[in-house]
């Protein structure tokens, strides 16, 4: 079965609602005020079975200029537009405005329906057709079929159904592999069921029982039950009009325009990067920093339009812009939107989202403009690489980049791996990919830090990994930085020996004098065994001796128990073997037993046992030690 959404558009009282009732048998005007005034105020919905096993959801929108905001709430997700023009009036102001809105929403298929043809002479209908043909020239409806019908007599309705079916069958199906997404255009409560939202399922599959996140509020809920065209179903598909009964959510917690989607599949943002187009029929220019009403999905939000490369946008022109919003919105790359002037309200333009969660840009910034053009016109690989470049300082993971680029996770991973193979990106583990230029900058900084360290510490084998990690990327998690350091080691930029990282070409080169000093100190510690001298006494204020001691720690000739107690490494290892032997024999070892067996004082025995504990070689249980 093919599912499509058909949307009506046209001036008030041109017969949109009557046409839908004639086609479907459903009166979409449900409000008492609509019945009283004879005009559509709120969105209406109906289901239409078409030849060829096609089911169409029809959205009936208000035609009056006062209710354009309601019209826009239902215009998203339309596959086929029916532009309705009454034969007794012809093209009117809202005909033109609705046509502009449909064009901005990038709807490609449509039919022009001349209604009320039974109320005028045939020659008059032909004149109206000519009038309409002039109005749609240069739009997506320029070559669209035009049909004259009567909702009263039924004239032309069967032909219209057949045409709609042919159009529906030619439309590419919705992407069902994407996470489900549905902007809520109605929210209400139903006795015995609770809160219900309705909307057009833009993409994906929504199943009964699915976990749902409300965007941008972040409220978590479940699909308690689902209806499609008033029939209970277990799952709904992209391209269907859907009603969802939400579990545990109050009506007042949800506003029209909220998006229900798979948890974690979207990111709310206070900015959108867009290609902004001004309608050629607009009577005013869009100036930089203009305050506008933004209509996206079923949402209306106030925003400021920052024009990136000009001071104003004339009617019929397009430019790159950043919309800075007064409330968060949840969008995807490629989404369409409409903007209207703040006051007086007038539809002035719209366009396409090119980055749903951008960084804040400076106007006329060449780098920002280049990035926006890539995201608008580049290949998927180009777009992902640019997103990686933009988000490398944040260490954004591939799932986040996939959301920003509107890619599936599998698509994004495959492309990122390809970029890594070409050397344009670097994979550092945990699904994080960094741009090669950003990695080069980090590597250059790291090399500078290590070179400076080697100059100041010529006898040290290098810098401890923990210290280097903190110096180059203090705010990034340990596992990610270690992944990057490991990649530098693998490529030979640096080396790691005994836990010390150095420039790959670095070698400890002690002169003859320092080498003799190192040997003398080593002999002193070996002789002292378990009663070593205090560090301050050994150094005696001599900077060279201090450097030698540090180098001996780095080479593990010595082990540091505390700032004033260094011990020969072989003695340390023998003390640990003794402790283990005593534990294995007696189940545990006390401080006194260890001290006496080692033949040392309490001071050094305590220092050794506490170091074993800190190193997780032993642990203290009461007054004794056992193996860790």
Report the alpha-carbon distance of residue 502 to residue 513 in Å, rounded.
24
What structural domains and CATH numbers belong to the chain? 2-170 (3.40.50.300), 181-261 (2.40.30.10), 269-367 (2.40.30.10), 378-509 (1.10.10.10), 512-627 (1.10.10.10)
Note the pLDDT of residue 7: 85
Res. 514: pLDDT tops 80? no
Spatial CB neighbours of 322, under 8 Å, sequence gap ≥ 6: 271, 272, 273, 274, 305, 306, 308, 358, 360, 361
Q: How many other C-beta atoms lie within 10 A of the C-beta of residue 267?
A: 16
Q: How many other C-beta atoms lie within 10 A of the C-beta of residue 591?
A: 16
φ, ψ of residue 371 to 5 degrees: the values are -60, -40
Note the pLDDT of residue 31: 41
Of the candidates 493, 495, 491, 555, the residue with the CA atom closest to the CA atom of residue 521: 555
Q: What is the pLDDT of residues 361-406, one digit of tens each?
A: 999 999 999 999 999 999 999 999 999 999 999 999 999 999 999 9
Note the pLDDT of residue 32: 44
Report the alpha-carbon distance of residue 57 to residue 74 in Å, rounded.
12
What is the DSSP secondary-structure string of 274-324? EEEEE-TT-SS-EETTEEEEEEETTEEEEEEEEESS-SEE-TT-EEEEEEE
What is the DSSP secondary-structure string of 316-355? T-EEEEEEEEEEEE---TT-EEEEEESSS--EEEEEEEEE
Query: Helices (H) and strands (E) in the chain — how many of each?
Result: 19, 33
User: How does the average pLDDT of the chain come out, rounded?
Assistant: 89
Q: How many other C-beta atoms lie within 10 A of the C-beta of residue 569?
A: 18
Q: Is 532 in contact with 605 (CB distance < 8 Å)?
A: no
pTM, two decimal places: 0.78
What is the DSSP secondary-structure string of 405-462? HT--HHHHHHHHHHHHHTTSEEE-STTBEEEHHHHHHHHHHHHHHHHHHHHH-TTS--
Note the pLDDT of residue 66: 46
- What is the rounded average pLDDT of the residues 479-491? 92
Share of the chain above pLDDT 70, in %: 94
DSSP secondary-structure letter at 358? P
Q: Is 332 in contact with 356 (CB distance < 8 Å)?
A: yes
Res. 71: pLDDT tops 70? no
Res. 34: pLDDT tops 60? no
- The more confident residue out of 46 and 416 is 416
Report the alpha-carbon distance of residue 127 to residue 78 in Å, rounded.
29
Q: What is the pLDDT of residues 571-585, one digit of tens each?
A: 999 999 999 999 999
| pLDDT interval class at 72 (50, 70, 90) | low
Report the alpha-carbon distance of residue 160 to residue 500 in Å, rounded.
78
Report the alpha-carbon distance of residue 401 to residue 413 in Å, rounded.
10
């Amino acid at each position: 079965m093919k599912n499509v959404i058909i949307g009506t558009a046209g001036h008030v009282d041109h017969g949109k609602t009557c046409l839908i009732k004639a086609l479907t048998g459903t009166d979409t005007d449900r409000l008492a005020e609509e019945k009283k005034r004879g005009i559509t105020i709120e969105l209406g919905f109906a289901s239409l079975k078409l030849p060829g096993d096609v089911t169409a959801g029809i959205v009936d929108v208000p035609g009056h200029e006062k209710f354009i905001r309601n019209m826009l709430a239902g215009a998203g997700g339309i596959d086929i537009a029916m532009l309705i023009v009454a034969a007794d009036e012809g093209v009117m102001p809202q005909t033109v405005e609705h046509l502009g809105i449909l064009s901005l929403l990038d709807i490609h298929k449509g039919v022009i329906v001349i209604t009320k043809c039974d109320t005028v002479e045939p020659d008059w209908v032909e004149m109206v057709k000519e009038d309409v043909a002039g109005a749609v020239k240069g739009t997506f409806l320029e070559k669209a079929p035009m049909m004259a019908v009567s909702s009263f007599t039924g004239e032309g309705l069967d032909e219209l159904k057949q045409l709609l079916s042919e159009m529906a069958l030619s439309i590419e199906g919705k992407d069902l592999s994407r996470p489900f997404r549905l902007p809520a255009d109605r929210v209400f409560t139903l006795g015995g069921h609770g809160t219900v939202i309705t909307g057009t399922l833009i993409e994906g599959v929504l199943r009964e029982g699915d976990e749902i996140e409300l965007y941008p509020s972040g409220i978590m809920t479940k699909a308690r039950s689902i209806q499609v065209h008033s029939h209970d179903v277990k799952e709904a598909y992209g391209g269907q009009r859907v009603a969802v009964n939400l579990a545990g959510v109050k009506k007042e917690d949800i506003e029209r325009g909220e998006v229900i989607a798979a948890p974690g599949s979207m990111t709310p943002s206070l900015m959108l990067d867009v290609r902004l187009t001004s309608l050629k029929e607009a009577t005013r220019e869009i100036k930089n920093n203009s305050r506008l009403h933004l209509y996206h999905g079923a949402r209306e939000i106030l925003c400021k339009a920052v024009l990136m490369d000009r001071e104003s946008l004339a009617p019929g022109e397009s430019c790159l812009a950043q919309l800075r919003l007064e409330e968060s919105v949840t969008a995807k790359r490629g989404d369409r939107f409409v903007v209207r002037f703040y006051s007086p309200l007038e539809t002035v333009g719209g366009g396409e989202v090119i980055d749903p969660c951008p960084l804040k840009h400076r106007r006329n910034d060449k780098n920002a403009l280049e990035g926006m053009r890539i995201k608008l016109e580049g290949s998927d690989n180009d777009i992902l690489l640019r997103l990686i470049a933009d988000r490398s300082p944040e260490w954004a993971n591939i799932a986040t980049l996939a959301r920003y680029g509107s890619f599936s996770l599998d698509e994004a991973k495959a492309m990122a791996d390809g970029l890594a193979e070409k050397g344009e990106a670097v994979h550092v583990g945990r699904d994080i990919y960094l741009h090669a230029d950003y990695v080069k900058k980090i590597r250059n900084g790291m090399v500078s830090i290590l070179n400076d360290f080697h100059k100041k510490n010529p006898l040290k084998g290098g810098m401890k990994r923990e210290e280097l990690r903190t110096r180059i990327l203090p705010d990034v998690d340990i596992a990610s930085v270690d992944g990057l350091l490991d990649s530098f080691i693998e490529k030979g930029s640096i080396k790691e020996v005994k836990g010390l990282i150095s420039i790959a070409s670095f070698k400890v080169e002690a002169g003859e004098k320092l080498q003799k000093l190192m040997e003398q100190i080593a002999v002193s510690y070996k002789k002292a065994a378990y009663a070593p001298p205090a560090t301050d006494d050994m150094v005696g204020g001599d900077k060279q001796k201090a450097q030698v001691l540090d180098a001996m720690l780095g080479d593990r000739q010595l082990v540091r128990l505390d700032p004033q107690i260094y011990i020969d490494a072989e003695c340390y290892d023998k003390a640990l073997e003794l402790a283990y032997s005593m534990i294995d024999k007696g189940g545990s070892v006390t401080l006194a037993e260890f001290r006496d067996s080692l033949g040392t004082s309490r001071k050094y025995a305590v220092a050794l046992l506490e170091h074993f504990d800190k190193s997780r070689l032993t642990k203290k249980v009461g007054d004794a030690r056992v193996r860790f």
